[in-house]
Structure 1
Amino acid sequence: MLFRQLFDLDTCSYTYLVADAGTKVAALIDPVLEQVERDLKLLNELGLTLKFCLETHIHADHVTGTGKLRSLTECEGIVPENAHAACADRYLSHGDVLMVGDIKISAIETNGHTDSHMAYLVNDTHVLTGDALFIRGCGRTDFQSGDAGTLYDRVTQRLFTLPDDTLVYPAHDYRGQTVSTIGEEKQWNPRFVGKTRAAFIQFMNALDLPDPKKMMEAVPANEQCGRIDMTARSHPI
């Protein structure tokens, strides 16, 4: 398996490239619009054919590059079940398996940060957790129909039950960290360690965080697979 972690400095977002070295078929997970040229350059250098662009969820902090990549490569745009993105080519449900050549990507429904969210388990060794689970943290639950109790349930019952040596790759990191493991997060993640479900809900509901700076633009654009509607810049969501 060929695996690359790519970073967007402006939004502290990670994009992941997963490819089958034998067939040269590739998928990008959570591409960023401003980084499309970088991603295409890497695909070309490695001799890869982009078959899929997957979203972990409808992002509020960056505009997806899926629409532009789809127009340039004819890849499929894939989003989680119930995501508000009628432009998608396919929707994945919990337990669905996507094959990228001989690479298996299993969808794990991890709602809570938003009401439509997937983590992707790659070849049973790497889990791309989106905004459900960060390195020593987790995504917020105060907009896009998020729910703290649901997030607690999904992380503890679906992610923390994976093998301890499963590598954790989140959609963001704001402190320069790149990778963790399920075992580490079960032991050291302060959002979950020692917290009951009720305590977690109370903690998350007390967070007073500013809206993502690109939220007014990103959410409506991502519901259209990356097409920016200029009117969205001046109207509240």
Structure 2
Amino acid sequence: MLFRQLLDRETSTYTYLVADPVKKEAILVDPVLEQVERDFQLLEELGLKLKFCLETHIHADHITGTGKLREMTGCLGVVPGNAHAACADRSIKDGEILELGNVRVRAIAIPGHTDSHNAYLVNGTHLLTGDGLLIRGCGRTDFQSGNAGAMYDSITQKLFTLPDETLVYPGHDYQGFTVSTIGEEKQWNTRLVGRNRDEFRELMANLNLPHPQKIMEAVPANQRCGDVAA
């Protein structure tokens, strides 16, 4: 398996490139519009054909590059089941698997940050958590039909039941971290360790975070797969 973690510095967003090096087919997870040329160049350099752009959820802090990459490569845009994105070529629900040669990507529904959000487990070892489980934290739950109780259940009942050695690759990081493990997060995640469901909900209700700067632009654009002109 070929695996790359790519950063958009403006929004601290991670995009992930996953590919089968034999079949030369690739998936991009959570591409960012401003980084499309970078991602396309990397695909060209590695001799890869982009088959899918895969979203963890409808983002509020950046505009997806899926629409542009679809124009450039003919890839398919894939969103979580029930996500409000009629422009997508297909959706992927809990337990469904995308296969590229020897690469298997299994969707794990983890509502909480939004009401339609997937994590993706790649070959049973690399967990792409989007804005669900972050390194020593978690995604916010105060807009886009977020639900703190659902977030707690998603992390503790689904993600934390994976093997401790499972690598955790988040959709964002604001502290300079790149990767963690399920075992580390079960021990050191300050949002979750030592808190029951009600205590977690109270914590999340009182974060008082400012809304993402691009939310008014990003959400409707991402419901159109990154089309900002409509």
| Shared fold, TM over 0.5 | yes
Over aligned residue pairs, what C-alpha RMSD do you find?
0.6
Matching residue of 1:87: 87
Distance 1:128 1:100 in 2: 17
- 1:102 Cα deviation from its structure 2 partner: 1.6
- 1:125 Cα deviation from its structure 2 partner: 0.2
Deviations 1:72-110 (A, max 9, x none): 100000000000000000101100000022200000000
Distance 2:196 2:146 in 1: 19
Matching residue of 1:3: 3
Matching residue of 1:30: 30
Matching residue of 1:233: none
Matching residue of 1:118: 118
Distance 1:218 1:119 in 2: 20
Deviations 1:143-167 (A, max 9, x none): 0000000000000000000000000
- Show structure 1 runs of 5+ residues with no match: 231-237
Matching residue of 2:183: 183
Amino acid at match of 1:191: R
Distance 1:206 1:145 in 2: 17
Answer with 221-230 or 36-45: which moved more. 221-230
Matching residue of 1:151: 151
Q: Helix, strand or coil: the match of 1:119?
A: strand
Q: Say whether the 8 Å CA contact 1:220–1:229 is kept in structure 2.
A: no
Matching residue of 2:135: 135
Runs (4+) of structure 1 exceeding 6 A deviation are none
Matching residue of 1:12: 12
- 1:201 Cα deviation from its structure 2 partner: 0.3
- 1:135 Cα deviation from its structure 2 partner: 0.2
Deviations 1:36-60 (A, max 9, x none): 0000000000000000000000000
Deviations 1:163-197 (A, max 9, x none): 00000000000010000000000000011100000
Distance 2:102 2:68 in 1: 26
Q: Helix, strand or coil: the match of 2:134?
A: coil
Q: Say whether the 8 Å CA contact 1:128–1:168 is kept in structure 2.
A: yes
How high is the sequence identity, in percent, across the aligned residues? 68
- Residue 196 of structure 2 is aligned to residue 196 of structure 1: yes
Amino acid at match of 1:12: S
Matching residue of 2:222: 222
Q: Say whether the 8 Å CA contact 1:31–1:64 is kept in structure 2.
A: yes
- Residue 24 of structure 2 is aligned to residue 21 of structure 1: no
Q: Helix, strand or coil: the match of 2:119?
A: strand
Q: Helix, strand or coil: the match of 2:172?
A: coil
- Residue 55 of structure 2 is aligned to residue 55 of structure 1: yes
Matching residue of 2:103: 103
Q: Helix, strand or coil: the match of 2:200?
A: helix
Amino acid at match of 1:123: N
Distance 1:32 1:223 in 2: 14
Distance 2:51 2:101 in 1: 10
Q: How many residues align?
A: 230
- 1:229 Cα deviation from its structure 2 partner: 4.0
Matching residue of 1:42: 42
- Residue 73 of structure 2 is aligned to residue 73 of structure 1: yes
Distance 1:23 1:213 in 2: 40
Q: Say whether the 8 Å CA contact 1:163–1:183 is kept in structure 2.
A: yes
